[in-house]
């Protein structure tokens, strides 16, 4: 994440001073069948944010770079009221959890999902699911994460995966139509 310092002559979506973010891709051919179907990640000419090479032969160095060049197609605007450091997790962990929740229809109010693990991805998955109005059970090996899951993140219930009796509860929930999202 950062601030636009310069734009190319054909850029129309952004201007100098805009707050922006870039995910794991900064370019592709934008004309092959994959690119035409919003599957740029399968483009044979993909340019990754890191460990790749721009069209001019310059290497990409990823998010640790002081300056990053990206096609505007791969850039997202960051709202002015969202601090860059607060929004940064949304570009990796955020899309890693948001995308499957939406893709698999786990974003419907009243659903009950389980989120296994309360690390970086688990935290964000709980926050998204809560915002969707989904009932959430956090499943973790660490009992000490229970308070965080329930009181700070708003999960509805918490199960310890090493407790056989609690895992029987989880199994019974899956037979009642609940869906578990594994993190």
87-145 per-position pLDDT tens digit: 888 888 888 899 889 988 999 998 889 899 999 899 999 999 999 999 999 999 989 99
Look up residue 63 and give its two tokens.
């998010």
Strands 50-53 and 59-61: antiparallel
| pLDDT for res 72 | 96
* More confidently predicted of 93 and 178: 93
Phi, psi of 165 (to 5 degrees): -65, -40
Give residue-wise pLDDT tens across range 46-89.
Answer: 999 999 999 899 999 987 788 899 999 999 999 999 999 888 88
| pLDDT for res 178 | 59
Burial bucket for residue 179 (CB in 10 Å: 0-12, 13-18, 19+): middle
| pLDDT for res 175 | 59
- Which residues are CB-neighbours of 45 under 8 A, at least 6 positions away? 27, 28, 29, 32
| pLDDT for res 168 | 83
Give residue-wise pLDDT tens across range 5-56.
Answer: 999 999 999 999 999 999 889 999 999 999 999 899 999 999 999 999 998 9
This prediction has a pTM of 0.74
| pLDDT for res 181 | 57
């Amino acid at each position: 994440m950062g601030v636009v310092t310069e734009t190319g002559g054909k850029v129309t979506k952004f201007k100098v001073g805009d707050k922006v973010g870039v995910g794991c891709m900064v370019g592709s051919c934008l004309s092959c069948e994959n690119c035409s179907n919003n599957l740029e990640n399968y483009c044979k000419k993909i340019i990754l944010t890191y460990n790749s090479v721009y069209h001019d032969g310059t290497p990409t160095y990823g998010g640790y770079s002081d300056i990053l060049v990206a096609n505007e197609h791969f850039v997202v605007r960051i709202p002015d009221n969202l601090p860059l450091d607060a929004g940064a997790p949304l570009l990796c962990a955020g899309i890693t959890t948001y995308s499957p929740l939406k893709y698999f229809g786990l974003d419907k109010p009243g659903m009950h999902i389980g989120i296994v693990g309360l690390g970086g991805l688990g935290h964000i998955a709980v926050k998204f699911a809560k915002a969707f109005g989904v009932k959430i059970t956090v499943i973790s090996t660490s009992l000490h994460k229970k308070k965080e899951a329930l009181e700070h993140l708003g999960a509805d219930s918490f199960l310890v995966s090493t407790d056989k009796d609690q895992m029987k509860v989880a199994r019974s929930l899956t037979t009642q139509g609940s869906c578990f999202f594994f993190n």
